[in-house]
Structure 1
Amino acid sequence: MLHINGLTYRIGGRVLLENASVAVAAGHKVGFVGRNGTGKTTLFKLILGDIAADDGSISVRPRSRIGTVAQEAPSGPESLLDSVLAADTERSALLIEADTATDPGRISDIHTRLADIDAHTAPARAASILAGLGFDEASQARSCSDFSGGWRMRVALAATLFAAPDLLLLDEPTNHLDLEATLWLESYLASWPGTLVVISHDRTLLNTVVDGIIHLQQLKLTRYAGGYDRFEKTRSERLANEAKMRTKQIAEQKHIQSFIDRFKAKATKARQAQSRVKMLARMQPIASVIEDRTVTFDFPSPDPLSPPLIALDDAAVGYDEDTPILQDLDLRIDMDDRIALLGANGNGKSTLIKLLSARLHVMKGRLTKSGKLTVGYFAQHQTDELSPTSTPLQTLSGLMPNAIESKVRAQLGRFGFGADKVGTAIGDLSGGEKARLLFA
């Protein structure tokens, strides 16, 4: 289905791919992994033809349809259901033609083709996908413009799935999903009949959905069989074996060089020494193992505070004073608590978090906080608030006005931003890198 051969791509003088090759057979599902910023999304753009490679080739099986989630989510007056149905362009075109065609033979052909593509079940299939992604029947009839950007991205995902392309490219498809929608998507993709390549950091998805892993590292693409856990085990064993072979080769090279140094000047051993020189020259060096740099960070332990940190007593919160989203809230949070907040779509999880972080205020009842409490807040769509023209160094310097530049750089370095990244425009960073910048 997909063949990548000798692919090289550079951007701004930086090499992202160099003589990289890999193949994905029809019907296979593979996860695409690699460190943030190494070029995973760029490879998708190359496959889609949005950008051109410097060298090498990418080929897709003839007459195959490639599908990916549109960058621009639907935002017009059409209903969610109609927006998803429109993704099947052949069905839409046939229905329009059926209304205007006058030739009996052509009308017959149109209806035959509509039957072939199972057009009459399309609304039910589209509705089922939307339901899986968290839209009830009433929501499906509402206009796309009624929903926020994150919800509209779910509609874009639903449209891509409904179109049922031969080759499906998904870039972090669970980013805008809650737990229930993520579980549904994993189940849906597991039974997907086409070819799938998915970029994801979701270990569960990469273990339950895919049958192979493509790893992007050191400008190359390497294919592994099985899910993510098997990939980790196989790769770890391969790296250990390569390290062992390299150690053995270095020892052998030293032994041969020692023989050459000892006997090259002796006439009786000169021929043997020369033979060893040739042997040494013929050895193919085994490259040293270079692991991806990992980002290791922790949250500093805060000073002890008097309990409770936060308490809610019969509280209500919402965006409209007349319509609370949550009410009758009673909650106590103490030092060392670790709490996961679960709930169905639209039940107010984000609203509660905004209340606890003082982005919303109680409409009734009481919220009390420990006197010296400070709250850190990281939201799903917070990366959208970063200035695309600013750099990580400028962004963090603005938040640390009294810190010298070396301290700011050190903080960025803890989160994987080396000298080559601190001056990069945020708009050119990957989604994962933007998230790390927010954590920094």
Structure 2
Amino acid sequence: MIRVKNLSVSFGSRILFENVNLGFDQGNRYGLIGANGAGKSTFMKILVGDFEPSTGTVTIEPGLRVGVLRQDHYAFDDFRVLDTVLMGYPELWEVMQERERLYALPEMTQEEGLRVGELESSYADMDGYSAEYFAAELLEGLGIPVEKHTELMSSMNGGWKLRVLLAQVLFGRPDILLLDEPTNHLDIDTIRWLEEFLQDHKGTMIIISHDRHFLNTVCTHMVDVDYKQITMFSGNYDYFVAASSLSREQQLADNSRNLEKIAELREFVARFSANKSKAKQATSRQKQIEKIEIQEIRPSSRVSPYIKFTPKQQLGKQVVTMSGVSKSYSDLQVLKNVNLDIVQGDKVAIIGANGVGKTTLLNCMMGEVGVDEGTVVWGKSAQPSYFTQDHSDTIPHDTTVYEWLRGFDHEADQQTIRSILGRMLFSKDEVHKSTEVLSGGEAARLMIGKMLLEQGNVLLLDEPTNHLDLEAIDALTKSLIEFPGCVIFVSHARQLVTDVANRIIEVTPNGLIDFVGSYDEYLAKRPNLVAV
């Protein structure tokens, strides 16, 4: 379906990847993975035709329809939400528009009448009579309520617009589907719906995602962009990690054995090459040395931060208690009569639809916003450390990475600050980098660095994986599992919730569902749980 031949991309002297040869086949679902900056988005843009490679070609089988998830928030502002989705099938949309125009005429000519007949035939062939139903079904699956379907796109916020654009590309049922971070701005239930939809889709897919569970559930192959090469593997993400790790270990072991063998043979050659009776054997050993191959171990652009949270004070049993807490913004009541008691050992995942009040719940806990009613009481030994979702509110643009971090502990020496920044992958002169130019991933790692410095015994995190790559997410997940204190986190990342949480709090419009147990146990019992 798609053939990539001798593809190379370079920017000046920097080679992004070179001599790439790949084939993407019918029905397979490919996860495009690699460290931030490795070239995933560039490769996707080349496939779409939005970027010209330095050398090489991309060939797509003629006649195939390609669907691309676009990130242009404003392109459809003058159209209704439902119409924007229908435009995902351009041929059908054109038929619908012309059909509507002709039916609106007071009278039709014979030619126009014949044209209507042709249009009706095409309309039926393209399932036009069920099109609006299918479009509405997609929108509802992606969490957009029916009452929003007839509103203009200009009335929607950025997160809702991206959902509509995702519905648009899915509606066209293209033969080839190219998706760049499709789970962004989706809540955990919507991601589950999308996983099921994509598993049922028969076309070929190429997907960029940092969501491990999503990659494992949806993808049949991994396409790894790493250190100037793009390599394809069969299997999902976990299989790729295990297989590539095993392959590297095998290469290292083979090289070690071969180097030992070479050393042994060289010693023989050195001892007996001048000995006439052994000269023939020495020559034979030399030939053996020349035949032994030492495999080149390819370096990787993947680097993992070193995250280990170590609280400076032991946490007592009581962590935080919320009693009768209510919070409104103008006429919108977000929290009503919330009662929670969080204790030592709890690792709480706060889940729920977008905009339902998860961040407000954390902000009320931390005193970032005042409550309208009720009380929030922290345990005497509790020392909370907070990872906020909006880093721009926490990290100003008029300082450096080093100075910002040092501001949280003026008594910390330079070596301590530099050590933490190094663990967060800010090395050497990067510690003096301006906070104004930080990428989303860098800002997220800097926030984690702040928490490492604070050494709190209660960690509160609001969507910590949003801008992190897979290596950083894995490192964070491991550290939260091993953390001896209490963890309270908001996340839509299924893998993080599954691996870390032992208590689930779902925020709903009707109140909270508070469940002690794993996320999988919660899903099994959820139909019988009631919000209070």
TM-score, normalization: structure 1? 0.85
- Measure how far apart 1:44 and its partner are: 1.2
CA offsets, 1:331-357, max 9 Å, x none?
Answer: 233444321223345432232223223
Counterpart amino acid of 2:162?
M
Equivalent residue, structure 2, for 1:330: 339
Shift of 1:200: 2.3
Cα distance in 1 for residues equivalent to 2:254 and 2:15: 29
Residues 143/366 of structure 1: CA separation in 2 closer, same or farther (3 Å cut) = farther
Letter in 2 for 1:348: G
Change (3 A) 1:123 1:36: same
* Residue of 192, 206, 214 corresponding to 2:215: 206
| Alignment of 1:195 onto 2:194 | no
Matched, 1:398 2:408: no
Aligned partner (choices 282, 290, 293) of residue 303 of structure 2:
293
CA distance in 2, matches of 1:396, 1:314: 41
Instruction: Say yes or no: does 1:71 pair with 2:81.
Output: no
CA shift for structure 1 position 131:
0.9
Aligned partner of 1:165 in structure 2 is 174
| 1:287 match: secondary structure | coil
Looking at structure 1, the residues matched to 437 and 95 of structure 2 have their Cα atoms a distance apart, in angstroms, of: 41
SS at match of 1:113: helix
Residue type of the partner of 1:368? V
Q: Does 1:252 align with 2:264?
A: no
Displacement, 1:153?
A: 1.8
Q: 1:411 to 1:189 in 2, by over 3 A?
A: same
- Aligned residue in 2 for 1:35: 35
Q: SS at 1:156's partner residue?
A: helix
How many Å apart are 1:433 and its aligned residue?
A: 4.7
CA distance in 2, matches of 1:115, 1:425: 58
Please report how far the alpha carbon of residue 317 of structure 1 lies from its aligned counterpart in structure 2 after TM superposition: 0.5
SS at match of 1:197: strand
Q: Which has the higher strand share?
A: 2
Of residues 237, 242, 248, the one that matches 2:246 is 237
List aligned pairs for 1:93-172, cutoff 5 A.
93-100=94-101, 103-104=111-112, 105-172=114-181
Structure 1 residues 212 and 305: alpha-carbon distance in aligned structure 2, compared to 1, 3 A threshold:
closer
Task: Tell me which amino acid in the other structure corresponds to 1:14.
Answer: R
Correspondent of 1:261 among 264, 270, 283:
270
Distance (whole Å) between structure 2 residues aligned to residue 61 and residue 13 of structure 1: 33
Q: Which amino acid counterpart does residue 28 of structure 2 have in structure 1?
A: H
Supply the AA of the counterpart residue of 1:339. V
Find the residue that maps to 2:387 and give its secondary structure: coil
Q: Residue 214 of structure 2 aligns to a residue in which SS?
A: helix
- 1:336-375 to structure 2, matched below 5 A, reads 336-369=345-378, 375=384
**One-letter code of the match for 2:158?**
G
User: Which residue of 2 is the match for residue 314 of structure 1?
Assistant: 324
Per the TM alignment, residue 25 of structure 1 is displaced from its structure 2 partner at its CA by: 0.6
Aligned partner letter, 2:328: G
More moved, 191-200 vs 30-39: 30-39
Instruction: Tell me whether 1:186 sits opposite 2:187 in the alignment.
Output: no
The alpha-carbon deviation at position 223 of structure 1 amounts to 1.8
Give unmatched runs, 5+ long, in structure 2.
103-108, 450-532
Conserved 8 A contact 1:127-1:140: yes
8 Å contact from structure 1 (residues 37, 429) kept in 2:
no
How much does 1:170 deviate? 1.9
| Correspondence list, 1:415-430, <5 A | 415-419=424-428
Q: Which moved more, 1:126-135 or 1:147-156?
A: 147-156
Shift of 1:362: 1.0
TM-score by length of 2: 0.72
- Which deviates more, 311-320 or 67-76? 67-76
Checking the alignment, whether the CA contact within 8 Å between 1:28 and 1:195 is kept in structure 2 is: yes
RMSD: 3.3
Change (3 A) 1:108 1:437: farther
Structure 1 gap segments, 5+ residues each = none
* 1:86 equivalent in alignment to 2:87: yes
